[in-house]
Amino acid sequence: MDISRVDLNLLVYLDVLLRERNVTKAANHLGITQPAMSNGLRRLRDLFGDPLLVRTSEGMTATERARELQPLVRGILSNIEQAVQEKTPFAAHDSQRVFRIMASDYAESCLMPRVLRRIRQEAPHVTLDVLTPSDVSFLDVEQGRLDMAINRFDKIPQSFHQKTLWTEYFACLMNSHNPILRQPFTLDTYLEASHIWVSKTGFGVGVGVNPKDVQRLGWVDEALGRMGRKRQISVFTRHYQVAMLLAEQHDLIATLPSRAAWLQKDNPNLVVKVPPFEIPPFELKMAWSPLLQHNSDHQWLRRLIIEVAEEVDEEFAPFGARFESPQAIYGQHSER
């Protein structure tokens, strides 16, 4: 194909059409008429020899070819934007920018206080707006309405940029007078206790939990299920901070990310134990839109978050080493 004969504006049309999945909305976004956008879609179909968007009961749905094209087209346009955009460094000290970050309750507790402290030092007039996973969608990230998403992700759109901040293992948090501490902390004694379930990852509004649906209960219960075992859950919560408070009840155990347990290391009412069985670790990641990849403000924010995460990792290491060691899965380390 002779590229000189291709109207490259059609790539802009395709990029917006695949984001909006609606001809009228795409036309409004670009400030053109609906017939002009429909004509653009017809030309795109001719160009690629594929319908690209097909009307279904759920609206306009992208074809497999369109899904393959989306990250490629986004990358092309992002590079063009970078080439023509005037490079202006981010003036952190004078900026009044608002950064919107989605963070899980766990990430918000373990990372965001230190991020805010650094922002206050380097950019005192910048505002940080921290949202929950229930507040946003992948579309908000993709379209740049959200600067950053920090969470553990099962799946993430191929077009997103991402960076692993740290690998996380699990710990058991319980009251220092919990009756099970009178005997060795084994899998059997763990299962004899009552437990706090805590989890809220991903995007969108959460729903109620079915205690019998092990496959949807998450890491801890899936790990037990693989051994044919099951724990007794007395409380379900979506907030790690609440789980840590509830763990102060004399007979409950909260099994949660070890950095969350680390926040309670100086609490005399709580004891931290290594789980007496293997729970696969997970990665805390930050993800952002390709639209923001070359933005100098955003590059400053990414650098700051990465540096803070490295500081947290270094400070956490002496406490966290026990949870990462091979012996940890047998519960041989149990001191605070």
| CATH code, domain with 298 | 3.40.190.10
49 & 131 share domain: no
Own/partner contacts of 11-16, CB < 8 Å, gap of 24 or more, are: 11/73, 11/76, 11/77, 12/77, 13/37, 13/40, 13/41, 13/44, 14/44, 14/52, 14/66, 14/69, 14/73, 15/70, 15/73, 15/74, 15/77
In a domain? residue 335: no
pLDDT at position 65 over 60? yes
pLDDT at position 310 over 70? yes
DSSP code at position 3 = G
- The whole-number average pLDDT for the span 96-122 is 94
In a domain? residue 158: yes
In a domain? residue 329: no
Please say which residue of 48, 82, 116 terminates a domain. Answer: 82
Which pLDDT score, from 0 to 100, does residue 209 have? 55
249 & 272 share domain: yes
The packing angle between helices 64-84 and 9-20, to 10°, is 120
In a domain? residue 252: yes
8 & 78 share domain: yes
Residues 26 and 28: their CA atoms lie apart, in Å, by 5
pLDDT at position 290 over 90? no
Q: Tens digit of pLDDT for each residue in 83-93?
A: 776 667 889 99
Residues 291 and 294: their CA atoms lie apart, in Å, by 8
227 & 151 share domain: no
Which pLDDT score, from 0 to 100, does residue 331 have? 44
Whether residue 27 contacts residue 40, with contact meaning beta carbons closer than 8 Å, is answered with no
Of 38-52, 76-90, 272-286, give the lowest mean pLDDT range. Answer: 76-90
pLDDT at position 333 over 50? no
| pLDDT tier, 201 (very low <50, low <70, confident <90, very high otherwise) | low
46 & 144 share domain: no
- Determine the structural domain holding residue 259 and report its residue range: 169-279
3-state secondary structure of 32: coil
Q: Tens digit of pLDDT for each residue in 218-243?
A: 889 999 999 999 999 999 988 888 99
In a domain? residue 227: yes
Residues 6+ apart with CB under 8 A from 178: 193, 250, 251, 252, 253, 271
In a domain? residue 336: no
In a domain? residue 325: no
300 & 244 share domain: no
In a domain? residue 330: no
Which pLDDT score, from 0 to 100, does residue 2 have? 66
- The whole-number average pLDDT for the span 147-174 is 91
Q: Which residues partner with 60 through β-bridges?
A: 55
- The whole-number average pLDDT for the span 289-309 is 93
271 & 288 share domain: no
Please say which residue of 25, 57, 82 terminates a domain. Answer: 82
The CATH code of the domain that includes 12 is 1.10.10.10
273 & 239 share domain: yes
Q: Are strands 53-56 and 98-103 parallel, antiparallel or unpaired?
A: unpaired
133 & 176 share domain: no
Angular region, 116: left φ>0, alpha ψ -120 to 50, beta rest: alpha
262 & 179 share domain: yes
Which pLDDT score, from 0 to 100, does residue 197 have? 92
Which pLDDT score, from 0 to 100, does residue 335 have? 42
Burial class (CB in 10 A: 0-12, 13-18, 19+), 55: exposed
Q: Are strands 270-273 and 282-288 parallel, antiparallel or unpaired?
A: unpaired
Q: Which residues partner with 98 through β-bridges?
A: 127
Phi, psi at 274, each rounded to 5°: -80, 130
Residues 93 and 120: their CA atoms lie apart, in Å, by 9
Amino acid at 317: A
Cβ count near 241 (within 10 Å): 15
More confident of the two residues 139 and 267: 267
Residues 275 and 270: their CA atoms lie apart, in Å, by 15
105 & 161 share domain: yes
Which pLDDT score, from 0 to 100, does residue 334 have? 40
Structure tokens at 290: 């390709």
265 & 184 share domain: yes
Total structural domains within the chain: 3
